[in-house]
Amino acid sequence: MTKKLNTSVCIIGAGPCGLLLSQLLANAGIESIVIDRKDRAYIESRIRAGVLEQGTVAALEEAGVADRLHREGLPHTGFDLAFDGDRHRIDILALTGKNVTVYGQTEVTKDLFDRRFAEGQKFHFNVEDVRLSDLKSDTSTVGFQQDGATVEITCDYIAGCDGFRGVSRQSIPSDVLKTFERVYPFGWLGIMVEKPPVSHELIYANHANGFALASMRSETRSRYYLQCDLDDHVDNWSDEAFWEELALRLGPEAAANLQTGPSFEKSIAPLRSFVAEPMRYGQLFLAGDAAHIVPPTGAKGLNLAVADIRVLARGLVEHYRSGNDQHIDTYSETVLRRVWKVERFSWQLSTLMHQFPENSPFEKRMQRAEFDYLSQSEAASKSIAENYVGLPLE
């Protein structure tokens, strides 16, 4: 027997992207149902980035979930770029009048879950065999299996917030969907440690041995990364080996302040740039990682997803309030213009700060020349700062 449900918007994916959309819709009195193939505990445990643009903070304020962020988040007015031990600070506040806030994506997810559960959001967790149908009709259907039963949700619109490997993008016909991809020939080995960060701001470092990043989640919890081979494994890296290599890549100035200790999370993530076009097909809208991936250099993944949601939520709210479909009809074109600009910045910073195995001595000298130019040119530093704090929605 099939259980049949109905709602205005079915949101596939209960990560921060889908949760934020459900909250913004709920604030406007628009009903939604959220489904996910995992459960809340699993989703909240995922370790992700933690640098929030002002636009992301504004969206969380609009959603009503920014109280803890403002209490615990760390405002940052700049960050350092380092090259073979030389450091240059990008003063984002002086260059743009804006700052960013360090607050973990895990915490954003928890805050959104707490608010959505308190308000009675309808969730379906641990779903399987999700299938989308009637995407070009006035009403669409999302079907799935849950606890051995078949469930079908009829809805006006579907928001595909289910990540890179989700079903949403795969539901767009291959003769319609175009994808663009750059897979990088290395990964990031990341660890978490209960120690104060080596610096009160982030340090992005290019060393002959590879890239390193000194980041944090709080004043007592640090997040560090090392560039590594794609076929590397965490078992090859003891904590002692990681700390030794990190100190080398960050340089003696930073290493003097490095507090080491046992890691409580260690993982390797590959890097890629990816864009899918269009981001709308019929009644289906793609958002976040379902439509685009950026390398983590520059911390744009969550911020880009939130920008998608801000545009999509505005369009859906206007549709239900006044019948104005201008913003949902132009959703794909609007967000893709910004997506490609953010992809360019993440690609540019990744190209500058990593060691590429195929790079010739000429290309390595070009990296150094680019760093020197940034260090000496306020205009070049301002360009980096403008992208780092976040581009306008349109």
- Evaluate whether 163 touches 288 at the Cβ level (below 8 Å): yes
Beta bridge partners of 268: 189
In degrees and rounded to multiples of 5, residue 298 shows phi and psi of 100, -10
Tens-digit pLDDT profile for residues 206-234 = 999 999 999 998 899 999 999 999 999 99
Domain 2-74+101-181+272-355, CATH: 3.50.50.60
Check whether 49 has a pLDDT greater than 80: no
pTM for this prediction: 0.96
pLDDT computed for residue 205 by the predictor? 98
Which positions are catalytic? 76, 204, 296, 300, 388
For the chain, give every domain's residue range.
2-74+101-181+272-355
User: What residues contact 33, with CB distance under 8 A and at least 6 apart?
Assistant: 5, 7, 9, 10, 11, 122, 123, 124, 153, 155
On average, the pLDDT of the chain sits at 96
pLDDT computed for residue 103 by the predictor? 95
pLDDT computed for residue 271 by the predictor? 96
User: What residues contact 36, with CB distance under 8 A and at least 6 apart?
Assistant: 12, 13, 14, 15, 18, 43, 123, 124, 125, 126, 127, 162
For tokens 């049949």, what's the residue?
4
DSSP 3-state of 172: coil
Tens-digit pLDDT profile for residues 348-392 = 999 999 999 999 999 999 999 999 999 999 999 999 999 999 999
Tens-digit pLDDT profile for residues 279-324 = 999 999 999 999 999 999 989 999 999 999 999 999 999 999 999 9
pLDDT computed for residue 16 by the predictor? 97
Residue 314 neighbours by CB distance under 10 Å: 17
Please give the structure tokens belonging to residue 51.
Answer: 């640098």
pLDDT computed for residue 51 by the predictor? 95
Check whether 394 has a pLDDT greater than 80: no
Helix and strand numbers (H, E) in the chain are: 14, 19
Tens-digit pLDDT profile for residues 56-84 = 999 999 999 999 999 999 999 999 999 99
